[in-house]
Amino acid sequence: MSSKPYFDAVAQQWDQMRQSFFSEAVREKAIAVAGVQPGKLAADIGAGTGFITQGLLQNGLQVIAVDQSEAMLMEMKRKFAGAKGLDCRLGQAGSLPIPDATVDYVFANMYLHHVESPPQAIQEMVRTLKPGGKLVITDLDEHNYEFLKAEHHDRWMGFKREDVKRWFEAAGLQQIDVDCVGQNCCAQSSCGTESASISIFVASGEKRRARKRER
Ligand SMILES: C[S@@+](CC[C@H](N)C(=O)[O-])C[C@H]1O[C@@H](n2cnc3c(N)ncnc32)[C@H](O)[C@@H]1O
C-alpha cells in the first residue's frame, strides 16, 4: 500500500519527528561521501521536507527535490521560500520527473525502504545521472521491528548491504562502497513497549563514463 496518505498527514510534524529518528550527522556523511562541488546540480529523491536538500543548498548546489507527497513539498517550499537554486517536483519512484543523464549527484535518505521495488528505484535514479555522476543512498540496515511497518508505513525492514551493493552493480554503477554512517535510527512504538535502534548505512557509486572508441 502507498505511504503517500501517511506522509501527507505527517508533513507538518515531519521535521520534529525526523529529529527524534536520526540526526544531521546522516546528512553530513552523505554529502561528504559524494564529495559535492558548488555550482553542480543534485537531485534529492523522496526529499520530504528537504532534510538533504538543506545541506546541498548550504553547499552551493542547485537542487531538484522530488517527492510523491504534495504536502511534504508544500512544507519544503514554505521553509525554503526565496532560496535560490531549488526546484520542487511531484514525482513517483518508477518515473522520476528528471530527464536522462542530467544531474551530477542523486541523494535518497530513508526513501528506499518505502518504495515498491528497491532495485528498480535505484535504476531509475541512475538513469538521471550524468556519466561520472554519483548516487548516495542512506537507509536502514536489515532489522526485525515489525511495528515500523504498521506505524510508519515502512515497506521493507531495512536491507542487507550485499543486496544494495548488487543492485548498484546491476544499475551500472562502479566504485561502489557500502559503509556505516556511524549513527542509528531510533523510534518508539506507540504503545511504548518496543524501542527500535537500527544502524544506518551509506551506499555510494559512480555512473560509468562512456568508453572512447579505439581506432
Ligand atoms: C522517511 S521520509 C524521508 C524524507 C527525507 N528524505 C528526510 O530524510 O527527511 C520518505 C519520503 O519518501 C517519499 N516517498 C516514499 N515513497 C515514494 C515513492 N514511491 N515515490 C516518491 N516519493 C516517495 C515520502 O513521501 C517521504 O517524503
Instruction: For residue range 150-160, list pLDDT tens digits in order.
Output: 888 889 999 99
Q: Which three cell numbers stand for residue 122?
A: 535505484
**pLDDT value at residue 197:** 87
Is there an atom of ligand 1 within 6 Å of 138 CB? no
- What is the C-alpha separation between 66 and 111, in angstroms, rounded? 11
Residue 181 contacts residue 26 (beta carbons within 8 Å): yes
Residue 128 lies in a domain: yes
Residue 137 domain boundaries: 4-206
Query: Which residues does 149 contact at the CB level (< 8 Å), separation at least 6?
Result: 155, 157
What per-residue string of b and e applies to 13-30 under the rule 16 or more CB within 10 Å gives b? ebeeebeebbeeebbebb
Please tell me if the CB atom of residue 7 comes closer than 6 angstroms to any atom of ligand 1: yes
- Say yes or no: CB of residue 54 within 6 Å of ligand 1: no
Dump pLDDT digits (tens) for 19-62.
989 999 999 999 999 999 999 999 999 999 999 999 999 999 99
Banded model confidence at residue 191, pLDDT cuts 50, 70, 90 = confident
Predicted pLDDT at 193: 83
The set of cell numbers assigned to 64 is 531538484
Q: Is residue 171 part of a domain?
A: yes
Distance CA 94, CA 170 (A): 16
Whether the model clears a pTM of 0.85, i.e. scores above it, the answer is: yes
Amino acid identity, residue 60?
Answer: G
pLDDT at 71: 98
Ligand 1 pocket residue status of 18, Cβ below 6 Å? yes
- Residue 215 located in a structural domain: no
Please tell me if the CB atom of residue 205 comes closer than 6 angstroms to any atom of ligand 1. Answer: no
The response to whether residue 43 sits with its C-beta less than 6 Å from ligand 1 reads no
- 212 falls within a domain: no
| 213 within some domain | no
Q: What is the mean pLDDT of residues 147-151?
A: 87
pLDDT > 70? residue 215: no
Q: Ligand 1 pocket, 53 CB below 6 A? A: no
Atom of ligand 1 nearest to the CA of 27: 8
User: What's 122's domain CATH number?
Assistant: 3.40.50.150
Ligand 1: centre distance to CA 215 (Å): 47
Is the pLDDT at 173 greater than 70? The verdict is yes
pLDDT number for residue 171:
97
CA of 29 to the centre of ligand 1 (A): 19
Domain total of the chain: 1
Q: Does residue 158 come out as left (phi exceeding 0), alpha (psi in the -120 to 50 range) or beta?
A: left
Given this model, what pLDDT does residue 214 score? Answer: 67
